[in-house]
Amino acid sequence: MTDNAKDRTGAKHRQLTGRVARWTAILTAGVVALSLAYDVERKILTPGPLSPEHRAVKDCGACHSNVGQGQFGWVSAILSRTDSHADNTRCLSCHNLGDAPHSSHSLPASRLKKTTKRKQEELAVAGDAATLANTANGLLDAALGTSGRNHASIGCATCHKEHLHADGAAHTATDRTCNACHQVGFTSFQSDHPDFTGYPSGGPAPIKYDHAKHFSEHFEKARTKQPDLKSMPKTCTDCHTPDARGQKLLLKPFDVACSACHLPQIVGADRATGPKGLSLLALPGLDIETLRSRGAPIGNWPEESEAELSPLMQVLLARDRKRRTMLATINKLDLLDLQAATDTETAAVVDMVWEIKELLHELSTVKVSNLLKRLRAATSNPVEREEITRMLGTLPRDVLLASARSWLPSLSQEIARHQRPGWQKAFRAKYAKRQARKGGGDEARADKPEPAVKPDIKLVHNPKGGRWYVSVLGEIVQEGLEPEGTRKAIRGEVEQPRKVAAKRPRQAASQPAGKTAQTNNDQPRSKPVDDETWSVYGGWYRKDYAIYYRPAGHADNFLRAWLDFSATAPSRKDDNVLAPVFEALTHEDAQGRCIKCHTVTRGPDNTARVVWGARGAKQSIQESAGFTRFSHAPHLSMLAKRGCLTCHELLKPKKTNKAAASNQSKPVPNPPSFKPITKVTCVACHASGKAPQDCRQCHTYHIAPTGPPLTPTRLPVEAVNEQN
């Protein structure tokens, strides 16, 4: 065979292969076309199965914003421009990423900028280079058009890839994805990650608990004090328990972990001196003698009272600016010694007396809802119904009525007289005029001849021409001329209301809440238990000239409500009546001792907040630290003999100056119990060839609060009406 024959054979062969190839291509195109035509579910277009969470989505356009409707709606999208913002919006119809969902870390750019700056400053101090930078400029960036590109708006699909694996999650973010911004060479956690600074960085624990001091001192003391105490913790798990997911290690409830030792402190059982309850209403003790000598018209007032004007009561009295000024004046005085008080101060005391009487009268006669108005008027804080329920709603009316009857039997008459127009003004004018004329109160009065009346009644000139007949306690028995009734009163023919209380003041004042002052003769003559002791399980009681609330136990609603309410006072001002309440309730020796364990945080406007819950389900380290997360569960089985101490190393207990601490009026900060966890501890396991050490192992990307977006569904009124 010749060369020509060879060529012919070769050409024939090439023709044959070419023909077969062309037919194969045609056949392939036909198969594709048929598949597209008859594949209703468009499986041929699917690049892979959706993740289980998205598998129910059948419409491609639900996620792909540029894909149109219909069997071939996708064809028009081939040449259309990709709009990541529109695609993100599709994602956000189901996934709520907060207010800045398109930004890096789902955070507003301003906050991210602050965080970046702070982090860079921290790292600069630690001698590390800046960790955040834009992608490096260069030839590649110039070619790709990525020069100067910022990452303030990032498409969800940058990290979240779908259609990957049947059982896989829809994300593929890797360490390199993180390194797009965090550019310092993070080849591994083990070698490149900077050491931790103060981790866990969730801030001070909400509960003040010096672990080392409890282990070394308090538990020992408690054992000595109560040898039969069985609930003394012996292991960490006696007080701590993992949550359902094992992520956080929660503090067990107060009843389990703390009550054995701390409940008596809350209910005041271990309080040796002072009231065990918190005074809400009281007739404060006054220097009656001085007031009487100055002719101050305070009406009936118990001489024996040594009660103090409580900060809580001041809130109820401070209805307006004038009264707040009055209270500010009162707070500067020693009410039991008013000899040095000026006229203005004396007038303030008189005002206070009548304000207290009006308050008691109002509480006895008007609806308790009036207190809501008083509280709203006293503070700029909004007060809700729920708050007043917890603050005052449990106060029994019987206690109020019994107290008012016992303390001020003629309260109604006094209020009626006091409310007559011009009375106060007239008295003050007269008083001022006399002071100006005589230059002194007592001397002036001593010089003036008084009418011959009973020794406990004094005659005071009325500027309108009549006279005031004032009882020994300053009560105006009658005013004007001397009608028959007045003369009877002066002669002692009219029963002096004061006498009822004066005869047996202590006995009447210390009856149990809601009971009358009558003595039951049928009862054996054993020493009756006093109200304060009787209220060992908490509640309202009256003692002397005050109404107290004794905490019922842990998480007492009354104390908590008043603490939360008063905490909102930004700072101490003269006319701020809430700040003293907060100070009184947060004092180390305050009833309930709430702040002995609970921390107080202060906001930028100096408003305080009592952190009630332990770090638990609502506040986790992850939530407080933001970018970092930790789950205890996978680590618990890795602990050796040292258990929790493998990572949590105790700090030595700090010696506290008890004298200084007892004088402490402000909440003390919560010192940490454990040394900060260092990177070395983690690297022991999270290292090359051991446990994983990629970025997302410990760091969270989306730190903005997330949650399912709710679809606003209108009530189906029309449908119901149609059915009817």
Nearest Cα neighbor of 75 from 83, 66, 84 is: 66
Sign of the CA dihedral 690, 694, 695, 701? negative
- Shortest CB 329 distance to other proteins, Å: 53
Minimal distance in Å, beta carbon 348 to other proteins? 56
Binding footprint of other proteins, residue count (CB under 8 A): 79
Q: Does 13 help bind other proteins (rule: CB under 8 A)? A: yes
Residue closer to other proteins, measured from CB, 109 or 636: 109
Tell which positions 517-576 bind other proteins, by CB under 8 A. none
Which of 69, 71, 150, 663 binds other proteins (CB under 8 A)? It is: 150
Q: Which of 51, 63, 294, 594 binds other proteins (CB under 8 A)?
A: 63
Q: Which of 4, 5, 272, 637 binds other proteins (CB under 8 A)?
A: 5
Strand partners, 278: 549
User: Does residue 702 belong to the site contacting other proteins (CB under 8 A)?
Assistant: no
Alpha carbons 531 and 513: distance in angstroms, whole number: 7
Q: Does 504 bind other proteins (CB under 8 A)?
A: no
Type of residue found at 112: L
Find the part of the chain contacting other proteins (CB under 8 A) among 60-68, 299-307, 514-522, 672-680. Answer: 60-68
**C-alpha–C-alpha distance, residues 141 and 137, integer Å:** 6
Q: Which of 51, 101, 106, 154 binds other proteins (CB under 8 A)?
A: 154
Neighbours of 695 (CB within 10 A): 18
Which range, of 163-171, 515-523, 553-561, 650-658, touches other proteins by CB under 8 A?
Answer: 163-171
Span near other proteins by CB under 8 A; candidates 61-69, 237-245, 381-389, 502-510: 61-69
Q: With helix as H, strand as E and coil as C, how does 454-481 read?
A: CCCEEEEECCCCCEEEEECCCCEEEEEC
Q: Please report where in the chains the tokens 């702070």 appear, as a residue.
A: 118
Output 82 or 216, the one with its CB closest to other proteins: 82
Q: Taking a C-beta distance cutoff of 8 angstroms, is the pair 74, 45 a contact?
A: yes
From candidates 95, 96, 122, 158, binder to other proteins by CB under 8 A: 158
User: How many CB atoms lie under 10 A from the CB of residue 707?
Assistant: 9
**Nearer to other proteins among residue 199 and residue 701 (C-beta):** 701
3-class secondary-structure state, position 483: coil
Tell whether residue 187 is a contact of other proteins (CB under 8 A): no
Binding mask 74-103 for other proteins (x = CB under 8 A): xx-xxx--xxxxxxx-------------xx
CB of 189 to other proteins, least distance (A): 19
Binding mask 354-393 for other proteins (x = CB under 8 A): ----------------------------------------
Stretch that binds other proteins, among 44-52, 372-380, 564-572, 692-700 (CB under 8 A): 44-52
Query: Which amino acid is it at 710?
Result: L
CA angle, residues 25, 28, 30, in degrees to nearest 5: 110
Contact 217, 655 (CB under 8 A): no
Residue type, 118: R
Per-residue interface string for the shown chain with other proteins, residues 122-141, x marking contact by CB under 8 A: ----------xxxx----xx
Cα-to-chain-centroid distance, residue 580: 18
Which residues, other chains included, contact 619 with Cβ-Cβ below 8 Å and sequence gap of 6+?
202, 206, 613
Which letter, b or e, does each residue of 468-499 get, where b requires 16 or more Cβ atoms within 10 Å of its Cβ? bbbbbbbbbbbbeebeeebeebbeeeeebbbe
- Which residues in the 633-662 window bind other proteins by CB under 8 A? none
Cβ nearer to other proteins, comparing 89 with 364 = 89
Among residues 62, 92, 123, 180, the one that binds other proteins under rule CB under 8 A: 180
Distance CA 618, CA 606 (A): 24
**Residue 672 in contact with other proteins, rule: CB under 8 A:** no
